[in-house]
Amino acid sequence: MNSGKTIFSQLMDFLPSHEFHRCVDRHKGTYKLKQFSCWDQFLCMAFAQLTYRESLRDIEACLRSAGSKLYHMGIRSRVSRNTLANANQVRDWHIYADFAQVLIRTARELYINDSFGVELKETVYALDATTIDLCLSLFPWAIFRKRKGAVKLHTLLDLRGNIPSIIVITHGKVHEVNILDQLVFEAGATYVMDRGYLDFKRLYKITLASAFFVTRAKSNFVFKRLYSLPVDKSTGVLSDQIITLSSFYPNKWYPDKLRRIRFHDVKNNKRLVFLTNNFSLSSPVIAELYRCRWQVELFFKWIKQHLRIKAFYGTTQNALKTQIWIAISVYVLVAIVKKRLNLDGSLYRILQILSVSVFEKTPLLQALSDVDYKDLESDGCNQLTLWE
């Protein structure tokens, strides 16, 4: 890396700018645009995510204080909070959503051979949603409760690398199970979900797509046992049954057999009942797959704590979605950098280092790695050495 570049500039070099401009052209992002390009907007918002800026005024003050460095950071226009606010409000958020998907594809290729605790050749996804609370007086379009506003972030997380493969931002009133209607299921993949997604009509679509699911049964679940499989109770598995659905409509919606596994969680002293259409994996593996679903909960907790997606710089739907998608892009970018530079530190550690060193002109690898870069000991002579 060029040591003359700021760390922020070196980090942004990992972004495929040509792909970004394709996204801009696809959604006509340059229409009636004279200055402060979409790329300038993205860089300013990425800077805000990396350095935890509180407001547009905060972004403006920090970037203007480093005015002589902005050009070398890639920001070609003068930064103004009014200009940035207008850009967030009127420029199509799909530009940044499409660019985030470009980064997601790159990251998934980099992490494709990583392990997540269960050795499977096929891809395993965890599906869940989180609610982002909003002030109803500032976001009147986001009515969730009588005196509360919210949007939901529905995420399909690839457990290899914890990379979000699909993200859908909806109104807070949209139930999680409706997202199953928008997914194109990957043959051979496994989708792990909690019991909020227990809809047999939709789950049968996963089976018809030659994919698998693992979910939990509800307490009022009615079924007919066909036969039981042998189990090793020392693994925590209490029973492994092949069943069919007894109720009229569930049986009509899901006419095939299912597998019902009762499991005792010793750590939490809880009994769990799993449902799956996978008849080849062992019952302890099915239980372990469901335990791995917790990774999506940790993903939501991580981005809420370490990225700016709980306080927003604008109050329109476009501004909110723009900020969320750029935050996701920053998360995936840090994951790409971690893999390409072969860094051992966690994403949290990398993000913390970046937050306080974006204006430094240190090589990025040196700043982010644990290696102690020290000059070789000299003999104390001021004369330049021509030969070693």
Query: What is the residue-level pLDDT of the chain in tens, covering all 388 positions?
Result: 445 789 999 999 999 999 999 999 999 888 877 788 999 999 999 999 999 999 999 999 999 888 788 888 888 888 899 999 999 999 999 999 999 999 999 999 999 988 888 888 889 999 999 999 999 999 999 999 888 999 999 999 999 989 999 999 999 999 999 999 999 999 999 999 999 999 999 999 999 999 999 999 988 889 999 999 999 999 999 999 999 999 999 999 999 999 999 999 888 889 999 999 999 999 999 999 999 999 999 999 999 999 988 889 999 999 999 999 999 999 999 999 999 999 988 889 999 999 999 998 889 999 988 644 444 344 444 443 333 4
Backbone angles phi, psi at 124, to 5 degrees: -120, 130
Q: What is the 3-state secondary structure (H, E, C) of the chain?
A: CCCCCCHHHHHHCCCCHHHHHHHHHHCCCCCCCCCCCHHHHHHHHHHHHHHCCCCHHHHHHHHHHCHHHHHHHCCCCCCCHHHHHHHHHHCCCHHHHHHHHHHHHHHHHHCCCCCCCCCCCCCEEEEEEEEEEECCCCCCCCEEECCEEEEEEEEEEECCCCEEEEEEEEECCCCHHHHHHHCCCCCCCEEEECHHHCCHHHHHHHHHCCCEEEEECCCCCCEEEEEEECCCHHHCEEEEEEEEECCHHHHHHCCCCEEEEEEEECCCCEEEEEEECCCCCCHHHHHHHHHHCHHHHHHHHHHHHHCCCCCCCCCCHHHHHHHHHHHHHHHHHHHHHHHHCCCCCCHHHHHHHHHHHCCCCCCHHHHHCCCCCCCCCCCCCCCCCCCC
C-alpha to C-alpha distance for 250 and 252, rounded to whole angstroms: 5
Asked if residue 61 belongs to a domain, the reply is yes
Asked if residue 377 belongs to a domain, the reply is no
Domain with 265, as residue range(s), is: 195-292
Asked if residue 306 belongs to a domain, the reply is no
Same domain, 13 and 51: yes
Q: Are 304 and 313 in contact (CB under 8 A)?
A: no
Same domain, 215 and 252: yes
Asked if residue 117 belongs to a domain, the reply is no
Same domain, 85 and 33: yes
Q: Are 216 and 194 in contact (CB under 8 A)?
A: yes
C-alpha to C-alpha distance for 362 and 170, rounded to whole angstroms: 41
User: Which of 216, 19, 212 has its CA nearest to residue 124?
Assistant: 212
Q: Residue 140 CB: number of other CB atoms within 10 A?
A: 11
In the numeric block, the tokens 């003359």 are attached to 4
Same domain, 213 and 285: yes
Among 231, 258, 292, identify where a domain stops. Answer: 292
Same domain, 210 and 285: yes
Domains held by the chain: number: 2
C-alpha to C-alpha distance for 127 and 137, rounded to whole angstroms: 31
Bridge pairing between strands 143-145 and 190-193: unpaired
Same domain, 324 and 253: no
Instruction: Please tell me the predicted confidence (pLDDT) of residue 370.
Output: 62
Q: Which two tokens stand for residue 243?
A: 């069943």
Same domain, 199 and 287: yes
Q: Which residue type does 23 have? A: C
Q: Are 118 and 124 in contact (CB under 8 A)?
A: yes
Q: Are 163 and 108 in contact (CB under 8 A)?
A: yes
Same domain, 275 and 323: no
Asked if residue 244 belongs to a domain, the reply is yes
Backbone angles phi, psi at 387, to 5 degrees: -130, 145
Q: Which two tokens stand for residue 341?
A: 């530079």
Same domain, 284 and 202: yes
Same domain, 279 and 202: yes
Same domain, 343 and 286: no
C-alpha to C-alpha distance for 87 and 361, rounded to whole angstroms: 29
Asked if residue 219 belongs to a domain, the reply is yes
Asked if residue 64 belongs to a domain, the reply is yes
Same domain, 265 and 213: yes
Sequence-ordered list of residues with C-beta below 8 angstroms from that of 121, at least 6 positions apart, any chain: none
Asked if residue 308 belongs to a domain, the reply is no
